[in-house]
Every structure is written in C-alpha cells, then in structure tokens.
Structure 1
C-alpha cells in the first residue's frame, strides 16, 4: 500500500519561497485552491516571514466585481464564482508586475472582507521586491483572460486541505464577517461548494500540490 506523502510544514514552505525570492529578477508565485483552503493565511505567513523587502502581495480578490454590478446582473448571490471577477483586469496587473520598470511603482487593489468591497490602488508594489505572491481560486482556469494571468506566473501551488476542515473554516469565516450561522452554512455548502468543485477540477495543472 502506498502511504500518503507527509504534509508540508510552514517552515519548509517559507524556505521554498525564500529560494524563489533569491532567483534573478522578478518571480511571481500563485497560491490557489478551493475556498477556505488557507490561501490568504499562507500568503500572509510567507509575507511575515520574508518581510516587505523580499515579498509583496497582490491578491486576486481585489478584482471582485462591485456589488452594484452583481445586483444588476442578478449575480450577487453567486459572489465568488468565476464570472464575478474582472479577469482581464487581474491579468493586466500581473503582466505589469511581470515587466515592471525599475522606476515604476505598481498599485494593486485590496479586497476588504468586512465591507465585501475592493479598494483600488491600496497595495504599492516596489520594483525592487523580487517575489510577488498572488492568491485566489481561479489561477488555473482555462476560460476568459485567466490563461493570460497564468502565463505571468512562474509557479502555482495548489493548497490541498481536508474538505471537512475547509468547510468548517468557511462557516466560521462567514459568521466572523457578520452572517448568522444558518446563512453561513448555506453559503459554505451552496455557492462555495460549487466554486470548490470547479477549482478542484484544475488541480493537476498546478506546479505543486501543497498538503496542509
């Protein structure tokens, strides 16, 4: 019987990220996985460990379409689905980061989860930073402008987490941000589940599977 590979540790992931930062020029690392897999948590941990001189964050969630647009399209209840993001805008940002000029500061948007809205030009990324980490659900998607976004990434790590743990995290996240427990459960096992199925189908296209 083949044994399961040992889980990755944060220390080993930090060291691997540090090696990426030591490459010549700019390296862009993508972290992907189903909703609740820990993408934002790992990205923040890597940023804390390497520091702002080595690592900058440019999350995909900054490209959520505004709620007013989603309401107009009848898509507010599916917020987080692949068609509720500005994929072309995200691809354009990564292309700028890929070819950032020595005297240019690129400003990325940030998603404010408590407000459920994106804040433009909130994350300044200096040209001297060797490693940019971006994280989001659809880095490996094959429709729209997502392949252009993937082309700008040197590596994509797919975060693999036990579905039960992941769903528990999602429910806790929704409650923490103001949902009542019943509604939080509906979101985690409704739209979030549908998105997870779509994302999981792309895992084999990742550079690496990170088992947490």
Structure 2
C-alpha cells in the first residue's frame, strides 16, 4: 500500500468517526497543502474510500474552481502569478462552503477548474442534498490571512499534507511537463510562482486537526 493510500485511509477513518459523532449531519472536510503536495490525489482517494462504506455518500469539492479568469488576472496585472492567494475568489468560496454546509438546497452547482485549458468551468459539478460528506481540497483553506481565515470554522475536520520542498519541486516540474511546457517555462513557473506560493502556504496556514505525510509527492 502506498503512502498516499495510507494517508487517505487515515483521513477517511477520522472522518467516519467524526461523522458518527455528528449523528448524520453533513460533514465538511478540508484537505490543504502546497501545490504539488499530492493533496488532490489524497482527497480523491478519501472520497473513494468513504463511498465504499455502507450508508455514506461523499463528494469532492476542489477550491481551484474559484480561480479568477485569465482576463481578470490580466487586468489586475497578476496573470503571471496565477495560483497566488490573491488570484482566487475567497468570498465566493466561503459563501459556497456555507451553502454546502447548510444543505438546504436539493442540489448545489460548483465550479471546477479545467487545468488543460486553465479555465474554471461554472457549474462543472453538482452536489446533491443526499451527500453526507464534502471533501474540499485546496492550497489556502487553512490560511491565516484575511478573509481566508474565515474558512476554517466552517470545516468539521481539517487536514494538512506535509511534503519536503525537494519533492514539491520534482512533482511540480513533472506536472507542468505533462502539459507540454518546455524546460525554461517550467523553471519559471516552479521557481518564480509555485514554490514561493508553497512556502507561503506552509508558513501561513493555521494548525490543522491532523497532518499526513506524502513522501511520494515527487
């Protein structure tokens, strides 16, 4: 069993324990970490594990759907720094999380980021009222910076994925290489944007309820 699978099962076990204590009320889980830390893969596997349990329904809710559009970032002069904390709609994310937690609507449409075209697709995923557990994953879910610091109280369980910087660098380079970028562009994106963001996330995140390690991130 890989460390990713171990981490996913550890989070799922803690989630099910929390769900039982909440007596069936919808549970909101945050999985945070630096870009390239493997949090998205872990979150996907947590959802798979939870959906394999009898009587439990889980859904994935990625934070990346709240990226500002490239046209907006260009007007802001922030397009080269896409992925930094100020290039996301923090208030939109917060209100959607609160709507999901309230679980008053029969279905909630959430945006999903399409990395192949670098654009968020509105209404890219539907989360129905019957879903018991929402697993939200993203870089800044535990940030102490305003207004991001308003997110943590919404969650019932918070997780941070720890990974060594060398593994982050390796994983990020491989990610951009898979999208067809050349070495010069990869180096610029990783060293000038992704890694600085990753360091800021690691140092600027609040303490989670649990930490998991992912040495396989690279």
State how far apart, in whole Å, the 2-side matches of 1:10 and 1:29 are: 12
Unaligned runs of 5+ in 2: none
Tell me the residue number matched to 1:16. 14
Q: Deviations over 1:1-58 (max 9, x none)?
A: xxxxxx9544333323333444420110101111111111111111222229521111
State how far apart, in whole Å, the 1-side matches of 2:106 and 2:9 are: 32
Tell me the residue number matched to 1:41. 41
Tell me the residue number matched to 2:92. 89
Matched position secondary structure for 2:31? strand
| Contact 2:9-2:49 at 8 Å conserved across structures | no
Matched position secondary structure for 1:58? strand
State how far apart, in whole Å, the 2-side matches of 1:30 and 1:168 are: 25
Unaligned runs of 5+ in 1: 1-6
TM-score norm. by structure 2 comes to 0.87
Tell me the residue number matched to 1:54. 57
2:124 maps to which of 115, 122, 131: 122
Matched position secondary structure for 1:94? helix
State how far apart, in whole Å, the 2-side matches of 1:166 and 1:193 are: 8
Q: Taking structure 1 as reference, are residues 17 and 115 closer, same or farther at Cα in structure 2, changes over 3 Å only?
A: same
Tell me the residue number matched to 1:210. 212
State how far apart, in whole Å, the 1-side matches of 2:7 and 2:152 are: 25
Tell me the residue number matched to 2:150. 148
| Contact 2:9-2:46 at 8 Å conserved across structures | no
TM-score norm. by structure 1 comes to 0.89
| Number of residue equivalences | 205
Q: Deviations over 1:66-98 (max 9, x none)?
A: 000111111110000000000000000001011
RMSD: 1.9
Q: Taking structure 1 as reference, are residues 54 and 44 closer, same or farther at Cα in structure 2, changes over 3 Å only?
A: same
Tell me the residue number matched to 2:160. 158
Tell me the residue number matched to 1:4. none
Tell me the residue number matched to 2:27. 27
Residue 189 of structure 1 and its aligned partner are, at CA, apart by: 1.6
| Contact 1:57-1:134 at 8 Å conserved across structures | yes
Alignment of 1:162-177 (within 5 A): 162-177=164-179
